[in-house]
A and B are shown apart, each in its own frame.
Chain A
Amino acid sequence: KAGVTQTPRYLIKTRGQQVTLSCSPISGHRSVSWYQQTPGQGLQFLFEYFSETQRNKGNFPGRFSGRQFSNSRSEMNVSTLELGDSALYLCASSLAGGDSNQPQHFGDGTRLSIL
């Protein structure tokens, strides 16, 4: 069974641009969560989608948005990029939302660098 696939693995952008990251969950998984990982702030939750609906949201500005498609694939968009958006963005999927019997499985992440 294929794991969580995130594309691209690396991305370089400049300030003011926008970017879209993609996440394909494990087959059958309906919940997709996104996290931002930085040396300064650690791992922070962005949002979670379940059955094409945003179910949970972290404390990030509106420049960060996401969506989920009918096949459970998810995309995350960041507009008007800032230097502080440089981070590893991790996607995780689970059957229904990460309870003890259905933990979250993570992808390898997308390393976003802002110049």
Chain B
Amino acid sequence: AQTVTQSQPEMSVQEAETVTLSCTYDTSESDYYLFWYKQPPSRQMILVIRQEAYKQQNATENRFSVNFQKAAKSFSLKISDSQLGDAAMYFCAYNRGSTLGRLYFGRGTQLTVWP
């Protein structure tokens, strides 16, 4: 069974500082994809960053980057220069190549950004 674990229910960071959110996953698949989504109070789930399992290079999107450790099945999100607008619930998600329309989500990490 596919499972995604986020061990930090809550995290906080000072504005302009860096924070790392943790995620581990369990799968026996070789073809899969990993995602980080953010969900602000407005409820809409917004894609932050994605990583293909076959790529060794870590994905980067502006201030957001991941540390993908395939052997350890770890996929952490680093947010640099944190901004007040980064405050949200962050979900780690996985889908496998054979069922691309189905995402498996972790329980989420609530990120608070302090001014």
Q: Which residues of A contact B (CB under 8 A)?
A: 31, 33, 35, 42-43, 45, 48, 50, 55-56, 58, 88, 90, 92, 94, 96-100, 103-109, 111
Contacts and interface: CB of A to CB of B under 8 A. Distances in A.
20 contacts: A31-B101, A33-B103, A35-B105, A42-B108, A45-B102, A45-B103, A48-B101, A48-B102, A55-B101, A90-B45, A92-B45, A94-B100, A97-B101, A98-B95, A98-B102, A100-B52, A104-B103, A106-B37, A106-B45, A109-B44
Given A33-B101, A42-B107, A56-B102, 11 more contacts: A35-B105, A43-B91, A43-B105, A48-B102, A56-B99, A58-B102, A94-B101, A100-B33, A104-B103, A107-B44, A111-B43
Contacts of B35: 103
Interface string B45-64: 11100111000000000000
A50 B101 CA distance: 9
Interface of B: 33, 35, 37, 42-47, 50-52, 91, 95, 97, 99-108
A31 B37 CA distance: 19
Contacts of B107: 42
A91 B88 CA distance: 19
Contacts, number: 65
B47 A105 contact: yes
Contacts of B33: 98-100
B114 to A, nearest CB: 25
Nearest to B53: A100
Contacts of A109: 43-44
A42 B105 contact: yes
B104 A45 contact: yes
